[in-house]
Chain A
Amino acid sequence: MDPWTYAPAPESASLAEVAPSYRPFIDGAFVDGGGEPLKTVNPATEEVLAEVGTASPQDVDRAVAAARRAHEKTWGPMSGAERAKYLFRIARILADRSRELAVLETLDNGKPIRESRDVDVPTAAAHLFHHAGWADKLAFAGLGPDPRPLGVVGAVIPWNFPLLMAVWKIAPALATGNTIVLKPAETTPLTALVLAEIAAEAGLPAGVLNVLPGAGDVGSAVVGHSDVDKVAFTGSTDVGKEIGRRLAGTGRRLTLELGGKAANIVYDDAPLDQAVEGVVDGIFFNQGHVCCAGSRLLVQESIAEEFGELLRARIETLRVGDPLDKNTDVGAINSRVQLDRIVDMAAAGDAEGAVRWTSSCPLPERGLFFPPTVFTGVEQSMRVAREEIFGPVLSVLTFRTPTEAVAKANNTPYGLSAGIWTDKGSKALWTAQRVRAGVVWINTFNRFDPTAPFGGYRESGFGREGGRIGLDAYLHV
């Protein structure tokens, strides 16, 4: 008899209610942008989803001016309790429209509907609820007796979690009394624009939130604007460094959340089956388009062979394909540019002598896909061990002792996250104290919670987002 297979179980694309065109949101209204319109593409089909108007330099000026007015006239003077009402309202509407937002995110980004439905959208709502609760309690956050907002925030976000990253900037900025000009990523502007629509529906005063689609030039204009008081950027380390240079000496505040090359350290006394799950989740969640992805597996040499066998068997069960199918585990690569980069990095792994293993899963005939891939025999000096690939490619290294594990984990210019797998609590804590990473997960990976601060060391950036500490980046204390 034929093997039992899962029939396609696609979520309906019509739930996303994609409009033929979208426009920038400035001063409380959707307006025609002066920039060249862009076309956003569904990476699973490479078909155009919608045309999106972009911002011109004049639009950036208008948006920043609107944000400034709103900060001085309405949002800044408003009591925290009143601000909270708006944020709670936005959170509730977002949760109400979660199915629409999940499908839209999947269409625009390529991530599996299971993730947009179970992670991106609920986590975004959780961040809004969390920060809404802070709005009238800032004096009790332990940061200072009378924390004051900074003014106008300029935020630029990446394409890997378009809605969630927008909320990570908007929720703390608004809760602390700032107004914001947000530039979503060029390839994934849609959910941020629906979020603007939700804000308008919630009655958020004009100018408090402005969303300016566009490419790097718009982002550059936002972060370089002389009337922006604080810049919050999530994206590549190269762009982050450039922003750092531009803002140096201006007195404007800056937080950067940049790349990573996280180590997932598996000791020989780890709960092996769950460590396999964590490693798989660490690198194949969101096709590996995660700045904190566990892209380097450090496994103790005594179990390396068995762990590799279990890991490959588990990866073989990952279902790669139509992101709208509820049974898809790994979706589409967000853009042709990113796919090309992943292909190049994998070729570099081959050229430098690492051993490539690829899941035998079938890939769709069209669209942008890359199969789950594991490199073994990886050395510290290889590019696949040093550079962020931002794709479903895992590099496996081995270690002999805890000291060596820590040394290898720290042998990177990045320092965003790390994972530690052991059943021995003392060893987990010993390791966590020595690994230079802003986030350390013990016996789990890729868990996000609005109460837990998130951020990096060194070339992974500075500043924290989320939790009580995350408020500090948006306040004079």
Chain B
Amino acid sequence: MTRTVPAPRATAESTGGFAGVGRDEASLRRFLYGLPGVDQVGLERRAATLATRSIKKGSKLRAIDLAISMIDLTTLEGSDTPGKVASLCAQARRPDAEYPDVPPVAAVCLYPDLVRGAVERLAGSGVQVAAVATAFPSGRSSRAVKLADTALAVDSGAGEIDMVIDRGAFLTGRYGKIHDEIVAVKQACGNAHLKVILETGELAGYDDVRRASWLALLAGGDVIKTSTGKIAPAATLPVVQVMLQAVRDWHRLTGEYRGVKAAGGIRSTKDAIRHLVAVNEVAGPAWLTADLFRFGASSLLADLLRQRRTQVEGHYAGTEYIGAS
């Protein structure tokens, strides 16, 4: 699959109907509380129905390759080393050594201090280097530290930044603080793509997920992302559905495409395909590209490769036959 560089887009402030929404705390609050509510029962029912889709044969193989091409292959541990990053990069470029037709993943996702080594190893591969920043995962620091964190990643060559929002501010209703922080980080990103992590598992329900999604979109986030992966629950089908509705509505109202990243808790091919079905049917087929939908995952790739071999070879392959990291 070929990946295109996203076209430059208007900033939130110049966007038609939403100009000025982020100008102060009160207008932001009015806007976010004017969004239609989310009914939990109906939302979860739709998610359950979508999960009954039966994806077989050629459709399944296609979905597996699509899912692989959407992965942000992630390692975010205190014990990460250059060696771990090297093996991650090798797998990102060529996920299955015996099957060169397997597409590379979308990106590797790392802490900022490991970015430089990954950039060198992935040069020319088309695989992006993404870095978490802004005092990931808690977001508990000063704006200066968050911007410095972002600058470290960008200066080291990261093409994508995964920032976290200040959930404490969100839960106390200080939406303006979050908005301004996203705007500042977006500025610090320069040409790098900005993903905004909402950490939905720490928010107070689906109405909050919708408000946080819109807040991030209004402030200029290119992608809204469910979770850090450090908190459960993370990427559930109902939460992702609400976020897909947000980018769908954003496109409906502004004409701009923004993306969604489902991160955390998606470990099996079955889970990944259920998310792709949701992308296809809730946001629309236009979102079935690595530019607009990503999986943040560490162990998902191994299962996708295993299921892919099952589809191709007609029998299950043991993990020991696949060179997964």
Interface of A toward B, CB cutoff 8 Å:
1, 3-7, 9, 114, 118, 269-275, 277-278, 309, 317, 326-327, 423, 443-444
Tell me the minimal C-beta distance from A354 to chain B in angstroms. 26
Once A326-B52, A423-B37 are accepted as A-B contacts, the answer to whether A5 and B59 lie under 8 Å apart by CB is yes
Q: B42 to A317, Cβ gap below 8 A?
A: no
Q: How far is the CA of A3 from the CA of B281 in the complex (A)?
A: 13
Q: B43 to A274, Cβ gap below 8 A?
A: yes
Q: A443 to B39, Cβ gap below 8 A?
A: yes
Show 12 A/B contacts (Cβ-Cβ < 8 Å), sorted by A: A1-B1, A4-B288, A7-B60, A9-B54, A9-B56, A273-B245, A274-B46, A309-B252, A317-B281, A327-B54, A423-B37, A444-B45
Q: Which residues of B contact A309 (CB under 8 A)?
A: 252
Encode contact with A along B277-292: 1 for CB under 8 Å, 0 otherwise: 0001100010010000
Q: Which residue of B lies closest to A8 (CB)?
A: B56
Q: How far is the CA of A444 from the CA of B42 in the complex (A)?
A: 7
Q: Which residues of B contact A273 (CB under 8 A)?
A: 36, 38, 42-43, 245
Let me know if B41 is at the binding interface, CB within 8 A: yes
Encode contact with A along B216-260: 1 for CB under 8 Å, 0 otherwise: 000000000000000000000000000001000000100000000
Q: How far is the CA of A274 from the CA of B210 in the complex (A)?
A: 13
Q: How far is the CA of A443 from the CA of B66 in the complex (A)?
A: 36
Q: B59 to A7, Cβ gap below 8 A?
A: yes
Work out how many contacts link A and B, with CB atoms closer than 8 A. Answer: 69
Q: How far is the CA of A3 from the CA of B60 in the complex (A)?
A: 13
Q: B38 to A6, Cβ gap below 8 A?
A: no
Let me know if B276 is at the binding interface, CB within 8 A: yes
Beyond contacts A5-B59, A271-B36, A443-B41: 6 other A-B pairs, Cβ-Cβ < 8 A, are A3-B288, A269-B36, A273-B36, A273-B38, A278-B42, A444-B45
Q: A277 to B45, Cβ gap below 8 A?
A: yes
Let me know if B55 is at the binding interface, CB within 8 A: yes
Q: How far is the CA of A326 from the CA of B276 in the complex (A)?
A: 17
Q: Which residues of B contact A278 (CB under 8 A)?
A: 42
Q: How far is the CA of A341 from the CA of B19 in the complex (A)?
A: 51
Let me know if B84 is at the binding interface, CB within 8 A: no
Checking B37, B39, B55, B288 against A6 with a beta-carbon cut-off of 8 angstroms, the contacting residue is B55
Let me know if B58 is at the binding interface, CB within 8 A: yes
Once A274-B39, A274-B42 are accepted as A-B contacts, the answer to whether A4 and B285 lie under 8 Å apart by CB is yes
- Of residues 105 through 153 on chain B, the ones whose CB sits less than 8 Å from some CB of chain A are none
Tell me the minimal C-beta distance from A406 to chain B in angstroms. 22
Checking B39, B52, B53, B276 against A118 with a beta-carbon cut-off of 8 angstroms, the contacting residue is B52
Q: A277 to B288, Cβ gap below 8 A?
A: no
Let me know if B62 is at the binding interface, CB within 8 A: yes
Q: A271 to B276, Cβ gap below 8 A?
A: no
Q: B52 to A114, Cβ gap below 8 A?
A: yes
Q: How far is the CA of A326 from the CA of B54 in the complex (A)?
A: 6
Q: A3 to B59, Cβ gap below 8 A?
A: no
Q: How far is the CA of A443 from the CA of B42 in the complex (A)?
A: 8
Q: Which residues of A contact B45 (CB under 8 A)?
A: 277, 444
Let me know if B196 is at the binding interface, CB within 8 A: no
Q: B280 to A4, Cβ gap below 8 A?
A: yes
Tell me the minimal C-beta distance from B38 to chain A in angstroms. 6
Tell me the minimal C-beta distance from B316 to chain A in angstroms. 20
Q: How far is the CA of A443 from the CA of B58 in the complex (A)?
A: 38
Q: How far is the CA of A476 from the CA of B41 in the complex (A)?
A: 39
Scoring B42, B55, B63 by chain A CB atoms within 10 A of each residue's CB, the highest score goes to B42
Q: B59 to A271, Cβ gap below 8 A?
A: no
Q: Which residues of B contact A269 (CB under 8 A)?
A: 36-37
Q: How far is the CA of A473 from the CA of B67 in the complex (A)?
A: 56
Q: Which residues of B contact A423 (CB under 8 A)?
A: 36-37, 39
Q: B43 to A6, Cβ gap below 8 A?
A: no
Let me know if B30 is at the binding interface, CB within 8 A: no
Q: Which residues of A contact B252 (CB under 8 A)?
A: 309
